[in-house]
Amino acid sequence: MTTSWGIDCCSAMSSLPNKGVPLTGALEPQFCRAGFYPRGPRMPNRRIVVIGASAGGVESLVGLVGNLPGGLAAAVFVVLHMPTGVVSHLPTILSRAGPLPAVQIRNQTQIRAGIIHVAEPDHHLVIEPGRAISLRGPRENGHRPAIDPMFRSAALAYGPEVAAVVLSGVLDDGTAGLAVVRQHGGMTLVQDPGEALFPGMPAVAIESVEVDYVLPVREIAATLADIVGLGDVSFAE
């Protein structure tokens, strides 16, 4: 199946160092389209922050967003693995954790800076220019929402303007997407596995992708604040 937001990740996956981590199956994206950019110089204008988390991720997310400043000059997006059929209270939890308000994506939502956009349960969060879409596509890596579709779509839509973060979790969702973000010139950050309640997902990402930063969540927040800055930015479709 090919969509406007998928990316052919074959080149990215072949470039990943093989350190005993399988590079097919769960790591292989199900939505693909040709289109890769060589990694270029870093750009200071990181307007899109995408964060993926799984088991133990609520604690990591609270620690991260609780240390982000209000008025952040970027739109923040969050995918947290959750069971099918549950009602998500994550937007309320994140809104209470720090100064940035959090909203749950339903159907299509215009992207806004200084807002945390949270994936709807049982739906992938897909980013296109100027908008976020809640899409009930096939599961990836056993999950819906999954982290890889968000990372890939952000990389395709915004390239080097993306900063991608992998937090606590198990298995490997987010690793393939992180590689695509890097291929498109984006910044990659991973929670220190020694701090994560479930270190598996951060550890696989670090082993498989040449990430820019491996930090505790408080320092991830500080790094994001430094590279993003404050202010109002617009997102044209």
Question: Could you give the CA distance from residue 185 to residue 40 in angstroms, rounded to a whole number?
Answer: 6
184 classed as catalytic: no
**Catalytic, out of 60, 81, 123, 143:** 81
Cis peptide bond prior to 145, omega within 30° of 0: yes
Q: Is 119 exposed, middle or buried (0-12, 13-18, 19+ CB in 10 A)?
A: buried
pLDDT grade, residue 45 (50/70/90)?
confident
Rounded to 5, what percent of the chain is helix, strand, coil?
Answer: 30, 20, 50
> What is the model's pLDDT at position 233?
79
81 classed as catalytic: yes
Residue 197 has pLDDT above 50, yes or no: yes
> What is the model's pLDDT at position 84?
80
**Catalytic, out of 60, 124, 173, 184:** 173
Question: Could you give the CA distance from residue 125 to residue 127 in angstroms, rounded to a whole number?
Answer: 7
pLDDT grade, residue 215 (50/70/90)?
very high
Q: Per residue in 146-173, pLDDT tens?
A: 999 999 999 999 999 999 999 999 999 9
Q: Per residue in 118-139, pLDDT tens?
A: 999 999 999 999 999 999 989 9
pLDDT grade, residue 52 (50/70/90)?
very high
Structural domains in the chain, CATH included, are 45-228 (3.40.50.180)
Residue 36 has pLDDT above 70, yes or no: no
> What is the model's pLDDT at position 78?
98
The pTM of the full predicted model, rounded to 2 decimals, is 0.82
pLDDT grade, residue 9 (50/70/90)?
very low
Q: What is the mean pLDDT of the chain?
A: 84
> What is the model's pLDDT at position 39?
40
> What is the model's pLDDT at position 237?
64
- Cα-Cα-Cα-Cα torsion 67, 76, 73, 47, nearest 10 degrees, comes to 130
Q: Per residue in 77-102, pLDDT tens?
A: 999 998 887 788 999 999 999 999 99
168 classed as catalytic: no
> What is the model's pLDDT at position 186?
96
> What is the model's pLDDT at position 31?
34
Ramachandran class of 191: left when φ > 0, alpha when ψ lies in -120 to 50, beta otherwise: beta
Say which DSSP state 197 is in: S
> What is the model's pLDDT at position 97?
96
